[in-house]
């Protein structure tokens, strides 16, 4: 297929507004669902369309960036519900699961993993792969690097992480396995690629989810960039390290589409 209903570039993805990104020369039969960061309380398709476009270009495919509902007005699991809706809409548009991947940064990295967990629980087909940039998973704010890297990460502090986690969770416990994939059974998930900067407070979030996924039999790849802070990939096009990670993730995704 070559077009989506409502193209271009704004689309109504089953009632969820989204931006459709189609890089020049990209395949139109494959798509990345990109979940934006922002602690589930801020951010939008507009704020993250550039980064999603860099990943789409590196992969040679399309990307859809949904405007899922935000907390605190819409706490967990509204965001996951909206992303599940987008996947169902893509099925209706003719995109096969093996032609779909999920990706996201920070809270979007969490949501990308959690959405796949929810699809698994619902008995629905799973996408081909998951990419999580600097994933925000430790909603208990208990990780070692949250403390050890507090002085080197200018963006995410224990206080900021705890505040956003509270707004996102509402009345839900920080140990809920769908909200916090570090407590989830990851068996049966598609291949997972995670990256983080070794100077960021959430570095061990990426390490822990990769270790747990690997132990559950999931194919995993972990990239740690020296000296980089939280969501350093946001500097794609202006940073050698960001461009390197985007290129690596794009090549990794190419190899996993259509398996």
Active site residue 195: no
Q: How far apart are CA 70 and CA 196, in angstroms?
A: 24
Catalytic residue among 112, 118, 161, 200: 200
Q: How far apart are CA 119 and CA 117, in angstroms?
A: 5
Q: Partners of 61 in the beta sheet?
A: 27
Active site residue 48: no
Cis, bond preceding 127 (omega within 30 deg of 0): no
Active site residue 87: no
CA-wise closest residue to 148 among 217, 91, 204, 99: 204
Sign of the dihedral defined by the CA atoms of residues 211, 213, 218, 222, in that order = negative
Catalytic residue among 45, 106, 112, 134: 106
Q: How far is CA 90 from CA 83, 85, 101, 249, in A?
A: 11, 9, 11, 22
CB 199, CB 227: distance < 8 Å? yes
CB atoms closer than 10 angstroms to residue 81: 15
CA-wise closest residue to 207 among 174, 216, 198, 106: 198
Q: Return the active site residues.
A: 106, 200, 230
């Amino acid at each position: 297929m070559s077009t989506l209903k409502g193209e271009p570039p704004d689309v109504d993805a089953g009632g969820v507004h989204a931006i459709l990104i189609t890089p020049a020369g990209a395949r139109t039969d494959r798509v990345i669902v990109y979940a934006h960061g922002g602690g589930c309380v801020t951010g939008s398709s507009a704020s993250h369309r550039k980064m999603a476009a860099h990943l789409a270009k590196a992969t040679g495919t399309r990307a859809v960036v949904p405007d899922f509902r935000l907390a605190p007005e819409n706490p967990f699991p509204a965001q996951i519900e909206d992303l599940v809706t987008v996947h169902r809409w893509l099925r209706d548009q003719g995109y096969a699961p093996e032609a779909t991947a999920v990706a996201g940064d920070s809270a979007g990295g969490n949501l990308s993993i959690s959405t796949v967990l929810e699809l698994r629980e619902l008995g629905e087909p799973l996408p081909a792969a998951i990419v999580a940039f600097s994933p925000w998973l430790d909603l208990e704010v208990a990780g070692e690097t949250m403390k050890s890297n507090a002085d080197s990460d200018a963006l995410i502090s224990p206080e900021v992480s705890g505040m956003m986690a509270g707004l996102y969770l509402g009345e839900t416990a920080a140990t809920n396995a769908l909200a916090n994939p570090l407590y989830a059974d990851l068996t049966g998930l598609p291949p997972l690629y995670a990256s983080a900067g070794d100077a960021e407070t959430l570095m061990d979030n990426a390490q822990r989810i990769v270790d747990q996924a690997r132990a559950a039999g999931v194919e995993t790849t972990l990239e740690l960039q020296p000296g980089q802070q939280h969501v350093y990939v946001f500097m794609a096009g202006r940073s050698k390290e960001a461009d390197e990670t985007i290129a690596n993730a794009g090549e990794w995704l190419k190899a996993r589409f259509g398996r």
